[in-house]
Amino acid sequence: MPTLRHLLEPAAQRPRAFYRGNDVYDAANVGFAWETPEIGSVKFHRYDTQADGNSNAGHEGAAYGTNLPAADKAALLEHLKTF
C-alpha cells in the first residue's frame, strides 16, 4: 500500500491500483504520493493489485487496526509520525 493510512483500512477500501517509486512524501497519510503516473518528467510504475501475485488483502481485524474508529486511526498515525 502506498501509505500507512491505507494499511489501516479494510482491504475492500484500499486502492486497487497505485503508482510507486515516487519520492514526494505525503505527510498527512504517512507515505508517498501515489495517485499520479508522473511528476515533471519522471514516470512511475503502476502497481495493480488485481494482477496475479499483487494482492492488497493483507491483514485485517483488531490486531491490525483496520476496525478502529476513524479518530483512533488518525491518532495512531499522528503518534507514528513522532518516530
Average pLDDT, the chain: 88
- Percentage, residues of the chain above pLDDT 70: 95
Q: What's the whole-model pTM score?
A: 0.78
* pLDDT on residue 40: 67
**27-66 pLDDT, tens digit each:** 999 998 888 777 766 778 889 999 998 988 888 888 888 9
CB 15 within 8 A of CB 1: yes
Cα–Cα dist 60/39, whole Å? 33
